[in-house]
Chain A
């Protein structure tokens, strides 16, 4: 039987990818952030997932404003790092697991999550940066990804975004789908984005560590409380772009009510973003 063996939640700032790709991870600016990732790399190495479900938002690679899918699931054999405007990242392509992808799609739609289905898709920094952070070497370097992947997309580019509670329920539905998959498969779920940051407007540069710390605490203690915070309050507390934190709730929903935090890291800041990371297993 397949099983969700753990969850990782992390920010996915483009400049973290640039720091990796340009060999800047030991620069004084970046070193504290990358040092903080080391225990998280050990965590996923020990878990050794067969498949990693990466929940992220597209920032204008596959998605333009002509059509904006609220939720989507990738079902490709392979996913390549795409050109977002500054060239594709120099990393290997990601191998998919189309059998599990289609199982996931069938089971999500049967649970009334009517996802967009992608048989061809590129992935942007929202996907590739967390993968490099978790599965790359100390400096993020990688020759071959040790896990297959399934991209799950959540709209965070144009409001209305899905409600926090809906994202949590999507996680619960993913959990049910994985539990029902007959093939022995170790599945890690990654929720990406956040933490507090605002890129647009005169409020750009806004961060709020107190909100982020509250969020990190309640990822363990009271995720339901996080699902009850209105999106407006996410924008107020974490910034217009910080509303991406809803994707952490997808990962949280795929775990048991009671979880154990194996590792946490919080760093202010990676460029304009307060960078957070959490590693969790079921209690």
Chain B
């Protein structure tokens, strides 16, 4: 493959992702954007860290070097805000697990819908399946 073709291939995938409204391609650029947020979330796979987070969320975020804005997105459970600011859904979801909140709840908030409205949207895909 010629060098130009490789560049074109990479750009095609990125441009396609950019064209998808409400999609935040989690590539290197985005991963660099808020490494601290994802690192804090990753720490929550340890029960003792979950306890420390629950005891004082702001102090816990501070310990992981989250900036003030990101900390308030975390404490407000502003899921779409966390995603926009560089959160990766799989890491951010670990906060939801502490709250016993499902991915459907996160999806609803990201869509500015109630849980019922979002579930209706999920169910509506059944009708699109024609075998």
A-to-B contact residues, CB < 8 Å: 14-15, 59-61, 64-66, 82-87, 157-160, 198-205, 207-210, 213, 230-233, 235-236, 240-241, 266, 268-269, 271-272, 274
B93 near A235: Cβ-Cβ < 8 Å? no
Complex Cα–Cα for A59 and B121 (A): 25
Q: Which of B15, B22, B122 contacts A232 (CB 8 A)?
A: B15
A199 near B107: Cβ-Cβ < 8 Å? yes
Decide: A84 near B23, CB < 8 A? Known: A209-B128, A271-B104. Answer: no
Q: Is the contact region of chain B dominated by helix, strand, or loop, or is it mixed? A: helix
Determine how close the nearest CB of chain A comes to the CB of B59; give it in whole angstroms: 20
Q: Is the contact region of chain A dominated by helix, strand, or loop, or is it mixed? A: loop
A87 proximity list for chain B (CB < 8 A)? 47
B60 within 8 A of A: no
B98 proximity list for chain A (CB < 8 A)? 85
Complex Cα–Cα for A236 and B40 (A): 30
B41 proximity list for chain A (CB < 8 A)? 60
Determine how close the nearest CB of chain A comes to the CB of B55; give it in whole angstroms: 17
Given A207-B122, A271-B104, 16 more pairs with CB closer than 8 A = A15-B103, A65-B88, A83-B47, A200-B88, A201-B22, A201-B80, A205-B111, A207-B128, A209-B129, A209-B130, A230-B13, A230-B16, A235-B16, A240-B25, A268-B128, A272-B104
Determine how close the nearest CB of chain B comes to the CB of A195; give it in whole angstroms: 11
Ranked nearest first, the 5 interchain pairs of A and B with the lowest CB-CB distance are A232-B16, A202-B22, A85-B94, A203-B22, A209-B129
B-to-A contact residues, CB < 8 Å: 9-10, 12-17, 19-28, 31, 35, 38-39, 41-42, 44-47, 50, 80, 83, 88-91, 93-94, 97-98, 102-104, 106-107, 110-112, 118, 121-123, 125-126, 128-131
B17 near A64: Cβ-Cβ < 8 Å? no
B26 near A158: Cβ-Cβ < 8 Å? yes
